[in-house]
Structure 1
Amino acid sequence: MAAQRFDWKGVVARGLFSLFIVFALYNPSGYSYLHWLVDSFEWFWAKLAVGAALAAVLMMLWRTTRGVLKLQGMLLVALFSLGAGVTLAHLSGMSLTDPEAMLIWALLTLAAIFTAGLSYSHLDHRLGGISHTDEITK
């Protein structure tokens, strides 16, 4: 199969999906699944269903990212994100000790790791013509 023309739409869609899942699980604004979960004992079955769906998606993201990037790739993306965060904080004059800013950057780093894990095979195939497959043995 010949490599198709590179398209950023797939990477952007995967990035937005990763951001949505990470910030839906928890964010410091107070509007997240974890905030809703501990808010009250009402809506137990809805909270259970949403939690199960989030857990399934997070497990899929984690398994895919771990399988594609391995630990070294995840550390590389985290180090890149850390470097970009420190540089942006320095250029904008933001304090590096602000706990809320550090939490948001940690969540953005997690979303970046998931995005890289979901996008690596896509990019590698489009740019280099290399296909990644999982081999299942019985």
Structure 2
Amino acid sequence: MSPEIGHLVEQAGPYVSAAVSVYGAAVLSRAEDAALDAAVEGTAGVGRRILELVWRQRDERSRAALESAVDEAAEDPDDSDAAAALRQQIKRALREDAELTREVAGLLPATGTVTVNVSGTRAIGAQHIGVASSGDHATVHPPQQ
């Protein structure tokens, strides 16, 4: 397996997990629900599109294996073994199809992209930070050398 495919599968994991959590086993159904897609266009929407691409590129036997992996992951979203089995199905598909690999890569944010969602009173979001304080009457002392 090329490092690129391993990285893509790792990067796609949270998107695929979100899609399975939102859509359940129906994530592979051919009928698209436009209203639901609009509501979950973010992470779950990307995950659904990844699974749809993989589904379209598979033969009947491979589709059955992908469907089984999605069903198991949907039954218990916290089961790391089921999530790993689903990632393995995606990895197989990417290894077999260079065009699919390019399409999936195109759906994912560029490497190095950081997204931070912050909410709530005194919430702090940062990628690189030295000192952050959001409490009342905080005292920050420089490190001693």
Shorter-chain TM-score above 0.5: no
Superposition TM-score, scaled by structure 2 size: 0.28
- Between structures 1 and 2, the one with greater helix share: 1
Superposition TM-score, scaled by structure 1 size: 0.29
- Greater length-normalized contact order (CA 8 Å, ≥ 6 residues apart): 1
